[in-house]
């Protein structure tokens, strides 16, 4: 059975399609420079509409009938609009394989977007003249701004065609159209009379069009993301309009250069002047805000239709420097540019604002160099910067929710990560503003595996490859110029990847680099995320993409013991160089989340059919459609599951172990600030960066996510957090190959004497095997900022008789009163580490010849653990801080309590999300006590109506389930 728009609502018991168009909404365009998005859309398939788009774009056209679907949002793909209109419901679509039942044929024809609006001019124009004065310089002009429509579109306004699909092409093809005549031809022009706009969006083919594809990450959206996924804005100006605007800082010395291109939209010459002002604290400006610095240009004459470039330089004394979150604060500034021109009425002349624009920016400097070993090393404000991040995924229907993204960003930082990579999913402008404010680095770039990389030398695309035409290069130019202009001033930008799996050809490279330069780009431009090749104009990118993408054991990352193994073709994704997208897969959601999108039969398949292809894995054609590699390791290492609960507990342990090792491996192999040497002759090439594949899922997925679609963090999340110090910038990692403790210091200024304690016990009875510290035999350890180094061999690992637990603790001194900086527990096998078959590696994993064994964990004696609430603080009403609860865990037994998890729930027993725990999935040694803090983020994110946590559920490998009432 196939679901179409006509049948979906009845099947899913949804509300009927909303009545057609509501009353036209007013766009508030009071002053020159004001911008407003088209606020809502009515959508319908062109197969059901007989009127031509030009006629439909006339105010009051008969199109507004009950056959149209009303989406009360300013931006949505066709399918996103149908969701917003209530035609479909994502809870139902995401359940089991329901999404596969959608009839995709209905989206193989163009769809129409229509909106009626009014223009609320509010007050008389600044000169006191009417809106349409006879003076060209004081007349009002209107510009329609697109920010990309997937993937091609015709645009009509008030009966006039504004753009065709040749020009308005590409998901990132932003353009500005002068629509003054179309607005003037509308019904009554301004002051409450209606205008109408129609967009005809053509269906997207990922191999033919510049869209936003998902490769094999998840099922494709039924409409392939077609439609108005970003805002279409209407802007009001006078004759002299700002076409482009960039803010360039000279490193961190306080010099700010404002560059802009302005155009005379009028039919007569006009004199204009420009003024730029710098304000502290990015964001909206109040009239009372005092500028830190202002600079003006002399009056300049501009002929009809002529453009000119403005360059103004201002200086900010003692500027506050912007840092990524792990290294400092995130002070922001705002640059405001205003152009003014004379205005003449019948009674007087004056100078009025013709256009204005603002941009937020920060003082920071990002650089990169590529070593002779072809490894890229980034630096920020002169400090070597190890990139530790994840690959971000947009919502599968390209829906944007700022609060939801901020939760993603906060989770990323809470894990200890510092970067997200955007592979062709460059989202909305708000993303960069949030990243700026939070101190999260962003690495955007074009995507792989479709039209964006349709080069004759791309062997991975279906043949024949739809290589670029002249029109495609034009689309790429418009796309790069738009994205560069949108992103350019943001201090969170780490660079731009002009290629992903493949590098652009010379013509595209010239287009990309020229567009970036014209925009005042101030971050590295990288040829690609792989080492397949590069354009001469850019040189090697310095990033590797050899996998893995599926499960590998913890020792995989450390198995580089001599120079011969430190090679991209020998040890693939191991912890050296810069891994642009790799990881051990994983990211299994907990049962509470799984029940939201899997049927009972689906849940049974997880553990009863371990090799079966699963709809919520990757697509059927992908190597990752099943969990065979992960499950084989799970069965061999942890033992065959006896139930769904047993399977899910073991998956959380496996995920935790795998993600922790990946990030610890890279952190441990960073060396001395990127290893004083980043050359091929180094016996251990430094690990300069890891982008985990992936950070999150575009929909509810069974793998490739560090937290699930419902924002519930589990084993994979807390494995990463443990790897990076559970909130501390200093921690100790375990090197599985060298059987040693590695001191990692990710700060830029923390130093002093440290002590590392290593305690090894039997998991079964808690008996001590070894207990050593770095202070033994008068040895001390000194913390060195921005470095990692081996500090302590672990005794007893080679002679284990059964599964053992290793606790590594870092203390801020050697005195008995020294505080704990970090603490982490590992489970180690008596059989040693897994034996890897490196010679049998492929692009997505390295097979294991012999597995480690943890089956005896199933036979652990029960541990008596109690949990109690210590303190509880309510959230601030202004959202400045979150609700916070402290839980005290105590192990009263002589045996360890293994892998104890805590989950905050509401009055209905449902998970409370988003939340952050100071630590989770913890292992308590005999008679150990720990306090853990949970924060509820809803209030801080402005999420209204979120349920409050009322209880904490506690469980573990050998711990009875319990509930703590708060």
Whole-number Å distance between alpha carbons of 464 and 450: 12
DSSP annotation of 19 reads P
The two tokens of residue 527 are 């040829």
The token duo for 61 is 């056209």
Active-site residue, 501 included:
yes
C-alpha dist (Å) from residue 681 to 545, 786, 809: 21, 22, 34
426: three-class secondary structure by DSSP: coil
Query: DSSP assignment of 331-372, as one string?
Result: --EEEEEEEEEEEE-SS-EEEEEEEEEEEEE-B--EEEEE-T
- Give me 128's structure tokens: 């006191």
Kindly list the distances between the CA atom of residue 532 and the CA atoms of 317, 401, 525, 844, in Å, as whole numbers in the listed order. 46, 36, 17, 16
Cβ–Cβ under 8 Å, residues 537 and 512: no
Say if CB 376 and CB 525 are below 8 A apart: no
d(CA 75, CA 232): 8
- Has 92 been annotated as catalytic? no
Alpha carbon distance 801, 803 (integer Å): 7
**For residue 26, how far is the Cα from the chain centroid?**
33
Q: Which residues, listed in sequence order, are joined to residue 237 by a DSSP beta bridge?
A: 141
Nearest to 296 by CA among 274, 270, 272, 277: 274
Give the neighbor-by-neighbor strand order of the sheet with 255-264.
240-249, 255-264, 307-315
H-run or E-run covering 718 = helix 715-723
Residue 727 in tokens: 């909130």
What is the rounded CA–CA span in Å between residue 78 and residue 83?
Answer: 9
**Residue closest to 458 by CA, chosen among 391, 388, 508, 525:** 508
How far apart CA 362 and CA 545 sit, in angstroms, is: 32
**Identified catalytic residue from 501, 602, 730, 834:** 501
Measured distance CA(714)–CA(727) in Å, rounded: 17
- Taking the CA of residue 369 as centre, how many other CA atoms within 13 Å lie in the half-sphere pointing to its CB? 10
Rounded Cα gap, residues 819 and 22, in angstroms: 62
Rounded to whole angstroms, how far apart are CA atoms 270 and 299?
Answer: 10
Spatial separation of the C-alpha atoms in residues 316 and 334, rounded to whole Å: 12
Of 548, 486, 493, nearest to 524 by C-alpha is 493
Beta pairing partners, 887: 869, 932
Point out the catalytic residue in the list 275, 414, 581, 759: 581
Tell how strand 270-280 and strand 300-302 pair up: antiparallel
CA distance 814 to 658: 32
Distance CA(52)–CA(44), nearest Å, equals: 13
Relative to beta strand 577-582, strand 687-692 is parallel
3-class state of residue 420 by DSSP: strand
Are 310 and 259 a contacting pair, CB within 8 Å?
yes
Q: What is the DSSP string of 70-130?
A: EE-SS-EEHHHHHHHTTSS-HHHHTSTTGGGGB-GGGGSS-EEEEEEEEEE--S--TTSS-
d(CA 895, CA 768): 11
Point out the residues that are catalytic.
Answer: 501, 581
């Amino acid at each position: 059975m196939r679901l179409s728009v006509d049948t979906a609502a009845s099947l899913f018991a949804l509300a009927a399609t909303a009545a057609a168009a509501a009353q036209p909404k007013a766009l508030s365009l009071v002053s020159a420079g004001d911008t407003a998005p088209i606020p809502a859309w009515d959508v319908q398939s062109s197969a059901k509409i007989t009127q031509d788009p030009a006629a439909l774009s006339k105010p009051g056209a008969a199109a507004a009938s009950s056959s149209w679907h009303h989406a009360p949002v300013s931006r949505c793909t066709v399918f996103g609009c149908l969701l917003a209109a209530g035609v479909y419901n994502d809870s139902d679509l995401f359940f089991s394989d329901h999404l596969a039942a959608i009839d995709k044929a209905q989206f193989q024809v163009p769809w129409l977007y229509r909106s009626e609006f009014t223009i609320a001019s509010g007050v008389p124009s600044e000169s006191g003249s009417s809106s349409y004065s006879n003076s060209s310089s004081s007349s009002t002009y209107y510009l329609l701004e697109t920010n990309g429509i997937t993937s091609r579109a015709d645009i009509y306004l008030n009966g006039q065609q504004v753009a065709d699909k040749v020009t308005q092409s590409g998901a990132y093809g932003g353009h500005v159209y002068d629509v003054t005549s179309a607005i003037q031809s509308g019904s009554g022009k301004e002051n409450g009379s209606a205008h109408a706009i129609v967009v005809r969006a053509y269906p997207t083919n990922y191999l033919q069009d510049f869209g936003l594809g998902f490769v094999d990450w998840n099922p494709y959206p039924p409409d392939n993301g077609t439609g108005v996924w970003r805002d279409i804005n209407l802007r009001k100006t006078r004759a002299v309009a700002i076409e482009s605007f960039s803010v360039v800082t000279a490193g961190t010395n306080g010099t700010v250069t404002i560059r802009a291109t302005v155009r005379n939209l009028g039919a007569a010459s006009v004199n204009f002047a420009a003024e730029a002002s710098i304000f502290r604290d990015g964001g909206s400006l109040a009239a009372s805000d005092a500028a830190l610095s202002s600079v003006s240009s002399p009056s300049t004459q501009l002929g009809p239709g002529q453009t000119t470039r403005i360059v103004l330089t201002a200086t900010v004394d003692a500027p506050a420097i912007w840092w990524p979150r792990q290294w400092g604060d995130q002070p922001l500034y705002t640059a405001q540019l205003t152009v003014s021109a004379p205005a003449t009425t019948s009674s007087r002349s004056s100078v009025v604002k013709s256009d204005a624009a603002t941009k937020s920016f920060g003082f920071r400097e990002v650089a990169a160099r590529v070593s002779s070993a072809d490894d890229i090393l980034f630096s920020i404000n002169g400090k070597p910067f190890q990139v530790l991040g994840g690959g971000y995924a947009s919502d599968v229907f390209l829906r944007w929710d700022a609060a939801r993204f901020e939760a993603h960003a906060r989770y990323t930082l809470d894990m200890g990560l510092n970067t997200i990579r955007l592979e062709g999913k460059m989202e909305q402008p708000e993303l960069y503003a949030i990243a700026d404010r939070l101190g999260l680095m962003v690495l955007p770039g074009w995507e792989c595996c479709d039209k964006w990389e349709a080069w004759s030398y791309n062997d991975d695309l279906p043949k024949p490859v739809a290589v670029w035409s002249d029109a495609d290069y034009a689309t790429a130019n418009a796309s790069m110029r738009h994205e560069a202009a949108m992103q350019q001033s943001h201090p969170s930008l780490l660079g731009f990847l002009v290629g992903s799996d493949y590098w652009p050809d010379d013509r595209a490279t010239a287009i990309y680099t020229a567009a970036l330069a014209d925009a005042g780009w101030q971050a590295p431009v990288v040829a690609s995320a792989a080492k397949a090749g590069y354009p001469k104009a850019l040189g090697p990118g310095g990033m590797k993409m050899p996998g893995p993408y599926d499960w590998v054991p913890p020792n995989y990352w450390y198995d580089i013991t001599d120079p011969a193994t430190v090679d991209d073709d020998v040890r693939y994704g191991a912890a050296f160089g810069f891994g642009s997208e790799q990881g051990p897969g994983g990211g299994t959601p907990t049962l509470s989340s799984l029940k939201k999108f899997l049927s009972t039969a689906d849940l049974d398949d997880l553990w009863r059919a371990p090799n079966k292809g699963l709809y919520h894995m990757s697509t059927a054609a992908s190597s990752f459609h099943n969990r065979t590699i992960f499950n084989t390791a799970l069965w061999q290492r942890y033992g065959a599951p006896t139930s769904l609960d047993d399977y899910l507990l073991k998956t959380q342990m496996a995920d935790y172990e795998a993600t922790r090792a990946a990030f610890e491996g890279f952190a441990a192999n960073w060396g001395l600030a990127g290893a004083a040497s980043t050359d091929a002759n180094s016996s251990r090439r430094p690990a300069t960066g890891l982008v985990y594949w992936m950070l999150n899922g575009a929909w509810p997925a069974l793998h490739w996510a560090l937290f699930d679609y419902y924002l519930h963090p589990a084993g994979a999340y807390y494995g990463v957090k443990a790897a990076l110090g559970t909130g501390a910038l200093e921690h100790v990692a375990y090197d599985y190959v060298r059987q040693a403790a590695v001191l990692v210091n990710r700060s830029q200024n923390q130093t002093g004497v440290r002590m590392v304690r290593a305690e090894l016990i039997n998991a079964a009875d808690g008996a001590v095997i070894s207990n050593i510290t770095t202070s033994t035999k008068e040895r001390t350890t000194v913390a060195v900022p921005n470095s990692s180094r081996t500090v302590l061999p672990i005794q007893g690992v080679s002679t284990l008789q059964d599964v053992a637990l290793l606790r590594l603790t870092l203390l801020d001194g050697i005195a008995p009163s020294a505080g704990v900086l970090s603490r982490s527990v590992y489970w180690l096998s008596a059989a040693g580490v897994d034996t890897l078959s490196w010679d049998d590696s492929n692009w997505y994993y390295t097979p294991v010849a012999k597995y480690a064994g943890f089956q005896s964990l199933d036979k652990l004696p029960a541990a008596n653990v109690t949990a109690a609430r210590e303190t509880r603080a309510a959230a601030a009403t202004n959202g400045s801080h979150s609700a916070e609860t402290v839980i005290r865990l105590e192990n009263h037994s002589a045996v360890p309590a293994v892998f104890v998890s805590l989950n905050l729930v509401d009055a209905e027993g449902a998970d409370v999300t988003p939340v952050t725990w100071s630590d989770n999935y913890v292992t308590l040694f005999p008679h150990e006590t720990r306090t853990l803090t949970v924060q509820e983020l809803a209030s801080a994110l402005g999420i209204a109506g979120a349920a409050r946590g009322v209880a904490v559920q506690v469980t573990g490998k050998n711990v009875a389930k319990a509930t703590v009432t708060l």
